[in-house]
Amino acid sequence: MRKKRIMVVGPRRSGKTTLVNALNNYEGPLRRTQDVIYGEKTIDVPSSYIENPRMYKYIIAMSQDASHLLLLIDQSKCQNIYSPGFAKPFKCPVIGVVTKSGLQPENESLCYKQFEQIGVEKPYFKISSPQCKGIKELKEHLCKQGKKR
């Protein structure tokens, strides 16, 4: 049986790699790449996979190795990048994460509406990397969820 990892998907510059580094307890420099990166605890999916609907089948296939899927929405931009119902085909729990939550607070409700449209159920997590806000709560939730499974 393969090791289950937390899969992280989101648009370009939404904080995926920063979140992945936090989940892996890695404090080195950011490494941006166009490749899928299998970390100790994570699967970091490049933004190009989400920007091209033809790549969705690969995201779904990779999710077979995932314990959880984190879908990120950048609160500072709050663009509609996911197709309606995007979260429905995944067999693992899908968790909505609002990144850069300290920026553009007026976009918070738009981010939540977007999660509803793509089929992500509450609770949603708000994180802000510079202040390390919300990452501890997200890790605790993932740990609790992992114990239930």
- Reference 57, options 95, 21, 89, 94; nearest CA is 89
Please give the Cα distance from 146 to 149 (Å, whole number): 5
Question: In the predicted model, is pLDDT for residue 148 greater than 90?
Answer: no
- Reference 66, options 5, 10, 2; nearest CA is 5
Confidence of residue 99 (pLDDT cuts 50, 70, 90): very high
- Reference 72, options 87, 58, 85; nearest CA is 87
Three-state DSSP class for 117? helix
Q: Tell me, what's the pLDDT at 1?
A: 46
- Write the pLDDT tens digit of every residue in 4-34: 899 999 998 888 888 988 898 888 777 677 8
**Omega prior to 46 cis, within 30 of 0:** no
Q: How far is CA 76 from the centre of its chain?
A: 16
Sign of CA dihedral 124, 19, 68, 34: positive
Determine the average pLDDT of the residues in 137-147: 81
Domains parsed from the chain with CATH numbers? 5-137 (3.40.50.300)
31 contacts 14 by C-beta, under 8 angstroms = no
Phi/psi for 44 (5° steps) reads -95, 110
Please, which residues have CB within 8 angstroms of residue 49's CB and are 6 or more apart in sequence? 9, 36, 55, 56, 58, 59
Determine the average pLDDT of the residues in 105-118: 92
Question: In the predicted model, is pLDDT for residue 123 greater than 80?
Answer: yes
